[in-house]
Structure 1
Amino acid sequence: MLPSENRLRRREEFAAAMRRGRRAGRPHLVVHLTEGSDPHVAEGTPPPPRAGFVVSKAVGNAVARHRVQRRLRHLVRARLSDLPAGSLVVVRALPGAERAAFDQLARELDAALERLLGGVRG
């Protein structure tokens, strides 16, 4: 489970991250990243990075979708410290993600984030 302050909840936040952000596609997922300040956070405090997930019915049945979402949530949680403050990240699973191994999803997420962050990740 992601901490409450690191979750995207509102449709507008998902839409903003997907429309205004950059994206990197991989065979089983697409990562959208918007860097910048969150208008809903008070001035002077560095806002934490926030993440959301989109796993459609094209991925599989409910059991498969929840499994994919749990895997992606676990992977993103481990990488939150690498994300810039105030960034919004949306990870969208593609059909076939339910058949991908956990390690493969991890490699694809790392490659997408590496591309989006320009190689600055530690």
Structure 2
Amino acid sequence: MLATGNRLRASADFSNTVRSGVRNGRRNVVLYAALTDPDEPTKVGFIVAKSVGNAVARNLVKRRLREAAAATVNAHPQGLNIVVRALPVSAGAQWQQLLQDYQNACRKVLDRLAAGG
């Protein structure tokens, strides 16, 4: 489970990450990542709009993405802000599809950040 200290909550942090971060899109998610202060913990935020579905569907997608993000935080414990935007098709996605899309997008974004953006 994603710890409370690793959740992105401030609107300004979301905006900065989306505007200045590296982006990668997959079938179910679009992932944005930006480097932050190396002393700060990695933080992950989620954007799951009403277009994804009703409250039950949105919360299911958020819970699944939160679980997928916990592994990223363990692998990269400091210096990143990540925003995950769920696309409408993610409501019908199986757990494995959602996890694979998240992991592939995360890997691609981290590679681009390591290469200098």
**TM-score for both structures, normalised by structure 1:** 0.86
Q: Distance in 2 between matches of 1:35 and 1:83?
A: 11
After TM superposition, give the deviation of residue 18 of structure 1 in Å.
0.4
Give the one of 84, 97, 103 matched to 1:91.
84
Aligned length: 113
Q: Which residue of 1 aligns with 2:53?
A: 60
Matches within 5 A, 1:1-122: 1-37=1-37, 46-83=39-76, 85-118=78-111
Instruction: Give a deviation string over 1:8-64, Cα, whole Å, max 9, x none.
Output: 1110011011011001000110000001217xxxxxxx2110000000000001110
Question: What SS class does the counterpart of residue 84 from structure 2 fall into?
Answer: strand
RMSD: 1.7
1:4 to partner: Cα distance: 2.1
How far off is 1:90 after superposition?
0.4
The structure carrying a bigger helix percent of its residues is 2
Identical-residue share of aligned pairs (%): 39
Partner SS for 1:9: coil
Contact 1:35 1:84 in 2 (8 A): no
Give the structure with higher Rg (CA). Answer: 1
Unaligned 5+ residue runs, structure 2? none
The residue type equivalent to 1:19 in the other structure is R
Deviations 1:60-87 (A, max 9, x none): 0111000000000011012212236221
Gaps of 5+ in 1: 39-45
- Aligned counterparts of 1:103 and 1:115: Cα–Cα separation in 2: 18
